Amino acid sequence: MSIRIEKQGQAMIVRLDNPPVNAIGHAMRLGLRDVLDQLDGGVDRVVVTGAGSAFAAGADAREFDAPPAEPHLPDVIAALEQCPVPWIAAINGVALGGGAEIVLGCGYRIAAPGAQIGLPEVTLGVIPGAGGTQRLPRLVGMKAALDIIPQGKALKADEALAVGLIDQIADDPLQAALALDLAIVSDRPAVSAMPAPGRDDEAIAAARDAANRKMRMQTAPQRAIDLVALSAELPFDDAMQQERAAFLELRQLDQARALRHAFFAERGAKAPASLKDVAPVDVRSAIVVGGGTMGAGIAYALDRAGIAVTIVENDQGAVERAGVNIARLAEAAEKRGLMSAAQSAEVKQRIAVVEGYGALPAADLAIEAVFEEMAVKHAVFSALEKALPAHAVLATNTSYLDVNRIAAVLSAPSRLVGLHFFAPAHIMKLLEIVEGEATSDVALATGFALAKRLKKIPVLAGVCDGFIGNRILTRYREQADMLLLDGATPWEVDEAMAAFGYAMGPYETQDLSGLDIAYANRKRKAETRDPARRYIAIQDRMVEQGRLGRKTGVGWYRYPGGGGKVVDPLIEDLIREEAHFAKVARREFSAGEIRERLLAAMINEAAAILDEGIAAAAADIDLVTLHGYGFPRWRGGLMHYADTVGAGAIHERLQRYRKEDPVVWRISPLIERLAESGGRFADVKPAE
């Protein structure tokens, strides 16, 4: 029943018990209703708490795609609130979503110091559906409720106490609830019977602005704000009807389905079953080769996870620059309030930076983050193999290069695994773990264990140029450049993709990262470039003119005074000149056609990646595009979006484009098969 009951004297203890996080499903709702039905005169209080380390981490989202089944949680909480026997919440761990709404229905609320309470429903595309939008503003006021609900916030126990969400903090909330003087509770009104909060138009406007900035184009946060505002205008029961209707409507929309897909994909991101019994290397110390922006970020992330780190550089000047990079990261964390000045100073002292490989500690892991050139990588790994003990796992952070060729320089290539971090490495959650032909299970398992320790989302990738993410990115950028040559402008392309949901389009993104990075990669691949594919040299000319993006104040846009972007008409002149050289008759593209072409190019390449087994599942590609490349979360990821469009419709678009260029628009065999069968990318099984 997902409920365990025990009696202690006149107290009934109700434990929510649905491992691992006590999600509130149908069985738990039935159990709570049965408790309410069976209460007798021998009980003076009901203490509700969670089994294990959680109170209840929300409703079981797996039920959202099924018709609602009685008893509904709003009705259970209403009955709990009206029960003549007082209910006391002993919040032993996280109380989120429906768990927090049960807490709000109780007459008294006691939390452990480490507990967290919040209403994160908007992050799943819905709103609190069991009274959260109505009880919370009555309990803590409209301003505080608008700070919590539309952003999906979870409050720590001390924060919850400060705003009045809980009544007490106790090391043992269950024992505190059992010892509570019931006189404290007896005269208290139920939260639903408290006076309506005063309307706060300033707080409503601030909440709308925050939702537009942080959850742009999402429906649920704005609907949540509407409902919280209603708490000041409608009687409780009338507002509850509107809350319930909104919840049931939103949970069936594409946004909610996409956000649930992303949530479950993240929960499923873990080491493959084949590694279940493989013991990873216990990484207590690590070497990072290269202290530039990426290497420093990796070293900082390792240090924050409790791993002793040494950075290796090749000369004294580079040693000093690496130290500056580490100091910059620590000081930025200090300014954001993430660490104290003393902790910042400790980080700077703790991360060692050395010149050469002569006196390295006997580390368990080494990660290279040096220039993307095979000879440079070979030199690094040859030195590492000699300098480190045999058990140490060796990892490359390469973005594009062949992991098998890198491993070939080692006498034991099984030690090498790809660990592709994303910049900034201490912030970005994605980690592509690349399995080479010789990569051992131990090296692979160590990569997944490290990802878990760093709180990153691991995605297994096979070996190819660019792995999963950068291979898709290459086609995205290629098609964007073709649109430029054929008639679009960079700002039209950027605006079209921002309207789709990206935080910024491909050209503003390139300006942010620097055009010289992609330029170096194009030069690397110049000798192997397919002569049948159109090559567009606009970016090459820009780099050669010193237009590298924000770092030089001018790229696809101008950045006067280091400020915001400004359209640069000189870029349009350059594009027209290149089109003239290429004998291209330019035409206009609508925003819809720009989006359709760019998305089709990415989906086509992603389908090939899935078909080749470079990615094990469509959900892995979704995670890469969501967490590494800014794909809008509320669309669920590239392949989830492709399934909403349908393989047949995608195939039809690609057939039209193929008439223009059969090489660039060569259709993935997987798309052809799915279009014919009516299948979904999500159902494609891993390649054998």
Q: Is the pLDDT assigned to residue 388 strictly greater than 50? A: yes
The C-alpha atoms of residue 2 and residue 59 are separated, in whole angstroms, by 13
pLDDT in tens, 424-463: 999 999 999 999 999 999 999 999 999 999 999 999 999 9
Confidence of residue 61 (pLDDT cuts 50, 70, 90): confident
Beta bridge partners of 74: none
pLDDT confidence of residue 687: 59
Q: Is the pLDDT assigned to residue 612 strictly greater than 90? A: yes
The C-alpha atoms of residue 351 and residue 512 are separated, in whole angstroms, by 28
SS3 of residue 5 by DSSP? strand
The C-alpha atoms of residue 629 and residue 420 are separated, in whole angstroms, by 13
Mean pLDDT, range 163-186, rounded to an integer? 96
pLDDT confidence of residue 688: 44
pLDDT confidence of residue 241: 97
Tell me: cis bond preceding 189? Omega within 30 of 0 counts: no
pLDDT in tens, 489-541: 999 999 999 999 999 999 999 999 899 888 887 887 777 888 888 899 999 99
Instruction: Report DSSP letters for 377-432, one per residue.
Output: HHHHHHHHHHHS-TT-EEEE--SSS-HHHHHTTSSSGGGEEEEEE-SSTTT--EEE
Q: Are 271 and 262 in contact (CB under 8 A)?
A: no
pLDDT confidence of residue 602: 98
Catalytic residue check, 420: yes
| CATH entry 3.90.226.10 includes domain 3-252 | yes
Confidence of residue 81 (pLDDT cuts 50, 70, 90): very high
Confidence of residue 399 (pLDDT cuts 50, 70, 90): very high
Mean pLDDT, range 128-137, rounded to an integer? 97
686 half-sphere exposure, CB direction, 13 A CA radius: 12
The C-alpha atoms of residue 311 and residue 291 are separated, in whole angstroms, by 6
362 token code pair: 């006997």
CA 11 to chain CA mean position, Å: 43
Q: Is the pLDDT assigned to residue 12 strictly greater than 90? A: yes
Nearest CA to 136 out of 88, 87, 101 is that of 101
Mean pLDDT, range 615-644, rounded to an integer? 97
Residues 6+ apart with CB under 8 A from 479: 597, 598, 601, 664
Would you state the CATH architecture of domain 282-461? 3-Layer(aba) Sandwich (3.40)
Instruction: Report DSSP letters for 134-172, one per residue.
Output: HHHHHHH-HHHHHHHTTTT-EEEHHHHHHHTS-SEE-SS
Q: Is the pLDDT assigned to residue 255 strictly greater than 80? A: yes
227 token code pair: 């409902």
Fold of 469-683: N-(1-d-carboxylethyl)-l-norvaline Dehydrogenase; domain 2 (1.10.1040)
Residue-range domain boundaries for the chain? 3-252, 282-461, 469-683
Across the chain, mean pLDDT equals: 95
Mean pLDDT, range 50-55, rounded to an integer? 95
Amino acid sitting at position 473: L
Pairing status of strand 45-50 against strand 3-8: unpaired
Of 420, 426, 627, 651, which residue is the catalytic one?
Answer: 420
State the CB neighbour count (10 A cutoff) for residue 377. Answer: 24
pLDDT confidence of residue 642: 98
> At residue 54, what are phi and psi to the nearest 5 degrees?
-115, 150
pLDDT confidence of residue 1: 65
pLDDT confidence of residue 556: 96
pLDDT confidence of residue 585: 93
Mean pLDDT, range 141-164, rounded to an integer? 97
581 half-sphere exposure, CB direction, 13 A CA radius: 11
Share of the chain above pLDDT 70, in %: 100
Q: Is the pLDDT assigned to residue 23 strictly greater than 70? A: yes
Amino acid sitting at position 42: G
> pLDDT: is 41 or 299 the higher one?
299
- Claim: this prediction has a pTM higher than 0.85: yes
